[in-house]
Structure 1
């Protein structure tokens, strides 16, 4: 743990700002894949179906989280995160360059592989858990989430203008130069991180996480030495329960992220043709939908950080992460109900796309009540020697959600049901999950509560 009394040491800002580069490039690429894949060849695209485009986007999202497991093992056991992170960024840059020269689905898949493998080595998130004090973890990860979303905001905003205006030539849209720009951004980010962490990062990320012990682990080692026992840390009962809690919350988040990712596809495909995207004489690029969500996350990050500090200062303490996940799913359910209301109210007309701002408020509230806090939860309760792997288990939940949402979209919104009925069905499922999580809160919380009689086990 850092010796400085500063709530957020400089190394935290190095890691947080590195996320800006990574997310900017990621959203330059991710937000364009749907459009690049489905645009006609004459317009600079690949001329593929919308389902194929959705599956490509879901693969980019999903496998970037699956690859985190491999990176987590490397960082926990063998190589410090300050070394794997810039290497991963260089690999990502190479992947985006493949996208810039792609003229078929095969080259897009090469891009997806490079980006995903490189992001598996990108480990600034676990580093934050070792840089910041335990009592500041929730607020730190909320602020980090705001920094992440600076990149998520700028990426879609830039791509929306660049591929339609700046890089376009006649009817040929500028998809490939945008992928090239994403590659350059990652190269710049690798330089920023390397210089910043070397000059101002102290010892952050120099060693594998298994060598950076928690206070509980240090106390157990001291007790073993005092009892003349062999100093060896094996998983005790408390740690095993906490690992199960991390696995369970990672499994529950599959549902959250499935509904969250799913919300984007109707915005691109259904509302893309059933809403008016013109405001005055300006046509709003569809992928600015991503940017608006990111803007709301940037604004709400510091606000939720203050909220968590305020809740923790109460005599009864903060509400649990499990209840917060339930609340988050409730917000998503409200968002889908709003989708249904708009579709019913519009009749055969085309309402303004500005109505989607209201949906995005629900989407963002759900995200901020859950996503940044998951990382803080793992940083607080994971054994140090499994820190990156546990962060990757969290990522594994997002992998399954990202891999599934294109198929759920095909089932729910692909013509089997009316759009309104599909939205109401998703909302009901979300509300049921809220009820289940609130009902299970007490037994789930018991998994992370320390039992003194098990502490030395």
Structure 2
């Protein structure tokens, strides 16, 4: 029988594009905090210590993830994500505007509070999981969404250095205020996009709390097993298993994201001194490594989407998320072996910065096997009444990793081991986690498939 190829709903495309607005503004604002807080007052900053600036930037990241739980309870139980998402964008925009008029530490904390609360209400991810109803499409759909997410991340990380130092700087005063205002404007434009474009295509999707929007699979299961159709009915044994599987995958995400975040620090602290950053007479900014990751994500998104779709249409079916996750962690381990290879082959000389491009490809490929598919997995298997909560569990895994990778760097790369030995340790742990996922694949897959 010939397989009928379906395209993605228009609501998927327009709602995914709204995340370009959100990520662009986020990376503009987040990247500026550390520099703004520590720059001298005469140059437009607050003149505070590096420690205060680092803590503020860390708090913005941490609170943004923690607020996801608060927003999840709202969209699961009280208000549809269709409404909370644009409202959250407006609140976030107000937060960035507060940053533009900041004259002291209180303003920055208020900005962090507003941005975190606003992003906690931004629930576009769970909405996409209900726009796409075909499970075979979800992995490819979320990979394409990842391209649009990273389009905003790339523009934000690449442009911020040029904007505050060159475009908006005047008479020695750096353009922090204008950049924060730009981030605020981008979020307001994103909210308008959501109100006037996304709503047009969403229809009734997301207009009610997720507890009231059951999937077709849930409706059929209730009829088949003669379950109560009440929204507060107890979870079935299979639903509990699926939630357990989501928590388990999220725990492996902690390992992945610790090593993923960790990979950036040697770029700033080790390779900054042991690499030649000049290409054709131009001094390459170290911060462009962040932009390289986003740019490769943009390029790989459609490629991985096509790959996942092809796998899902095989006669023997798709491979499980657990194996895909194992492959992603394994590729991440390979990237650290490549770090060690660069260090060994350079000898006493400085390595060319071009090596980092290939490293970024390894790092990003591992990410594409992992990050977009987590949201897809949760959308496939989470009970509707806990969809927002389960999405926030994935975010909490990232939050824990963000808090721990600094300690991991201090232990591994802080002088206890040679650089190459530290890389081997990380690679060994990553390979071990990958093997566990492959060996346990059948048992883990039984948690989600009847």
TM-score (structure 2 length as normaliser): 0.91
Deviation at 1:103, TM superposition (A): 5.3
Residue 175 (structure 2) pairs with residue 174 (structure 1):
yes
The range that moved more, 5-14 or 328-337, is 5-14
Structure 1's unaligned 5+ residue stretches are 451-457
Deviation at 1:247, TM superposition (A): 0.7
C-alpha distance after superposition, 1:161-215 (max 9, x if no partner):
1123212346554334322221111111111111112333221211111111122
2:142 corresponds in structure 1 to 141
1:409 aligns to what SS in structure 2? helix
Query: For 2:46 and 2:423, how far apart are their aligned partners in 1?
Result: 30
2:388 corresponds in structure 1 to 388
C-alpha distance after superposition, 1:222-251 (max 9, x if no partner):
357xx6x75433200110100000011011
1:432 corresponds in structure 2 to 432
1:185-196 matches, within 5 Å, as 185-196=186-197
1:447 aligns to what SS in structure 2? coil
The structure-2 alpha-carbon separation of the partners of 1:406 and 1:211, relative to structure 1 and needing over 3 Å to count, comes to same
1:88 corresponds in structure 2 to 88
Q: How many residues align?
A: 443
Deviation at 1:32, TM superposition (A): 3.5
Query: For 1:352 and 1:34, how far apart are their aligned partners in 2?
Result: 28
C-alpha distance after superposition, 1:379-412 (max 9, x if no partner):
1111111111111111111111112223323333
Contact 1:301 1:368 (C-alpha < 8 Å) held by counterparts = yes
Query: For 2:279 and 2:100, how far apart are their aligned partners in 1?
Result: 31
Residue 200 (structure 2) pairs with residue 199 (structure 1):
yes
2:163 corresponds in structure 1 to 162
Contact 2:222 2:228 (C-alpha < 8 Å) held by counterparts = no
Aligned-residue CA RMSD (Å): 2.4
1:362 corresponds in structure 2 to 362
The structure-2 alpha-carbon separation of the partners of 1:42 and 1:350, relative to structure 1 and needing over 3 Å to count, comes to farther
Deviation at 1:219, TM superposition (A): 1.9
1:73 corresponds in structure 2 to 73
Contact 1:7 1:133 (C-alpha < 8 Å) held by counterparts = no
Query: For 1:280 and 1:45, how far apart are their aligned partners in 2?
Result: 33
1:61 corresponds in structure 2 to 61
Query: For 1:174 and 1:6, how far apart are their aligned partners in 2?
Result: 47
Deviation at 1:110, TM superposition (A): 3.1
Contact 1:126 1:388 (C-alpha < 8 Å) held by counterparts = yes
Deviation at 1:24, TM superposition (A): 0.6
The structure-2 alpha-carbon separation of the partners of 1:329 and 1:105, relative to structure 1 and needing over 3 Å to count, comes to farther
The structure-2 alpha-carbon separation of the partners of 1:327 and 1:43, relative to structure 1 and needing over 3 Å to count, comes to farther
The structure-2 alpha-carbon separation of the partners of 1:441 and 1:50, relative to structure 1 and needing over 3 Å to count, comes to farther
The structure-2 alpha-carbon separation of the partners of 1:125 and 1:156, relative to structure 1 and needing over 3 Å to count, comes to same
The structure-2 alpha-carbon separation of the partners of 1:449 and 1:430, relative to structure 1 and needing over 3 Å to count, comes to same
C-alpha distance after superposition, 1:67-120 (max 9, x if no partner):
111111100111011110111111211222233344555543333322222111
1:394-413 matches, within 5 Å, as 394-413=394-413
Query: For 2:350 and 2:301, how far apart are their aligned partners in 1?
Result: 33
